[in-house]
Amino acid sequence: MRQIILDTETTGLRVEDGNRILEIAAVEMLSRKLSSPDKHLHCYINPERESEEGALNVHGLTQDFLADKPKFADIAHEFIDFVRDAELIIHNAPFDVGYLNMELGRLGLGKITDYVSGVIDTLAMAKDNFPGKRNSLDALCDRYEIDRSNRVLHGALIDCELLAEVYLCLTRGQDSLLIDFGGGGESAGGGLSLQSRPRGPLKVLAPSEAELAEHAAYLDTLDKSVKGQCLWRAIENPPAAESAA
């Protein structure tokens, strides 16, 4: 499967305010392995406008630096050809997809989903895996012990490289079955057999006091938002236990 880890940097947070894309990076991954750097796409783009102060503080790309760079119209077809039929992997996909749709729409080129096989939002995946936790790219790198020491400012290319590692960690269960293609691993009928590995005793990690306090605080917030109808609280304190007390 061909997948593209994609990230953009923009002149501001809201596409509705006329902000534009000023950097695109797209990193190719084939069968869960990153391709060589010459197979990646990385473009700085002249957005034809200044960046908002908040965005400039994030990416550091000034209009002076971008003034001689190609405009989106100049790289649009190269970009489309690169991502065509691939599955996109994006952190907070609605943001980047919204900007890509805007830029393509300005050129009468439709939407990004017209060209790709699908879009995976790793932020949504992380929220499912770690509800109530911080799930920014930095937070996920820290959680998975991925080195982000080179990420001083946000940059589309380095963010893609980090996101590729995060995505592989988020989906590592997909590699849990090992298929042996060697002669010794074939079944009597000549087919492929699954190899099993001996398992050690299951490790049980007890939560720390800080984690228990964070869990309780989260349940307090959740219980308040549903007006005392939090199912988790009902499970922790069943009516029978309350009457026995």
Which are the catalytic amino acids? Answer: 154
184 vs 189, 196, 238, CA distance in Å? 12, 14, 55
Q: Which long-range contacts (CB under 8 A, 24 or more apart) does 198-203 make?
A: none
Report which of 86, 125, 104, 144 is spatially closest to residue 8, judged by C-alpha positions. Answer: 104
Cα–chain center distance at 215 = 25
The residue whose two tokens read 């995505």 is 167
Residue in the structure block whose two tokens are 């219980």: 223
Distance CA 191, CA 159 (A): 41
